[in-house]
Structure 1
Amino acid sequence: MDLFRQIQYAVTTSFHERKVTPVFILDEMQMAKDVFLSDLNLLFNFQMDSSNPFMLLLCGLPYLRDRLTLNHHNRPLAQRLLLSHQVEPLTKDEVKGYVDHHMSLAGAKHPIFMDDAMEALAV
């Protein structure tokens, strides 16, 4: 618990004294153990009802959303989330445009990928 208090103190100090909002970005959270998710809830559970002195971004595959909402151990953390967003995959035309643009930036003077290869990339 001492480490929790140190982190909470650092967040509070940054927010109130330095006027800086710390941002924590945690990726691949679909693989996090339930114990870790519970610890996150405890770690950031201080005076949160009156202020938000930090931002926490939990990033992961769609399975993460299910884990947070369906698992009773994770529900307290899920209830504290203000926003949930799911990024949709690019369309085939968007993939082609993305690849063509980056190939152009890399100096390609002619198409590198055949149409079949572009189709395979977009799946």
Structure 2
Amino acid sequence: MYLEHWQLASKPFEPTTSGGFYYASESHQGALLKLRYALENGRGAALVAGPSGVGKTLLVHRLLAQLPDTVRPIVHVIYPQMSSRELLAYLASRLDPGTEPTTVTPSIDQSWLRIESALATAAERGERPIVVIDEAHLLEDNGTLETIRLLLNLQRNDTPLLTLLLIGQSALLSTLGRTPRLEERLDISALVDPLSADETHSYVQHRLAHAGATRPLFTEDAVDTLHQLSHGVARRINRLGDLALLVGYANGARVVDPSLVQSVASELAFARAA
């Protein structure tokens, strides 16, 4: 809607890291390096934690796209609030998709045997499955952390047959602190932080440039305001930046200034309150 007004080829603040929109902050690059090491070297479990909206899931998607073909299958659990029986049945169906589906949830023993068989077959093919669990800080609520830990007992020659990757908000660190038997099995812990003030400026410039901007569209003070209001959280920066461009287009603005960012943030706050 506003692309022609701002002379852009695409929207700069879409929630994606594809096509060159990925911004390599220091925190993201450090986490990416650690996680790639864990996955490519057959470690049993790794963790990535940080506040909501800092790009943990996008980072993991980018990581998985870079892995060799031997790291497969990749099972992504996006709804962890399942019972142990449901979770194991889900994992079994994804690790061993050849079995005919059934409307009856198999027993824990049945799913466990199926998982063991699937992992053994993958090992014989030289493959290493990855189980990615999003929103892992919710696992404690359902009492499934112990089930997750037991998956790491599936080994061959003292090497786990899969890699478990937990993604969660900062509360996940406290959760694991209360589950020492799982915490001690984690080989890598990577923390993703919000962007610093300087990184927010670089982030906005990078996004705008990749979207085709040929001139500054946000004043320096406007980006400072973006950082203050978003606390460096990329998701909030994207939302505020996108709406600022939209409202600026509607108002015929030639540049986004601090007052425009403030007004957009006030509208969002009013909408949430309503």
Fold match by TM threshold 0.5: yes
**Alignment pair present for 1:68 and 2:173:** no
How many residue pairs were aligned? 119
What TM-score do you get using the length of structure 2 for normalisation?
0.40
What TM-score do you get using the length of structure 1 for normalisation?
0.82
**Alignment pair present for 1:106 and 2:211:** yes
**Is 1:4–1:43's contact at 8 Å kept on the other side of the alignment?**
no
Identify the match of residue 197 of structure 2 among 74, 92, 104.
Answer: 92
**Is 1:29–1:60's contact at 8 Å kept on the other side of the alignment?**
yes
Counterpart of 2:111 in structure 1 is 3
5+ long unaligned stretches in structure 1 = none
CA offset digits 1:63-88 (Å, max 9, x no partner)? 1011111x2xx322212111212123
User: Which SS does the other structure have where 1:80 is aligned?
Assistant: coil
* Partner Cα separation in structure 1 for residue 164 and residue 149 of structure 2: 11
CA offset digits 1:22-44 (Å, max 9, x no partner)? 11211211122351212211233
**Is 1:30–1:64's contact at 8 Å kept on the other side of the alignment?**
yes
Quick one: percent identity of the two aligned structures? 33
User: Which SS does the other structure have where 2:160 is aligned?
Assistant: coil
5+ long unaligned stretches in structure 2 = 1-107, 232-274
How far the C-alpha of 1:115 sits from its partner, in A, is 2.9
Identify the match of residue 184 of structure 2 among 79, 97, 109.
Answer: 79
One-letter amino acid matched to 1:90: L
Counterpart of 1:20 in structure 2 is 127
User: Which SS does the other structure have where 1:58 is aligned?
Assistant: strand
**Is 1:8–1:44's contact at 8 Å kept on the other side of the alignment?**
no
One-letter amino acid matched to 2:172: L
One-letter amino acid matched to 1:88: D
Which structure is higher in RCO with an 8 Å CA cutoff and minimum separation 6?
A: 2
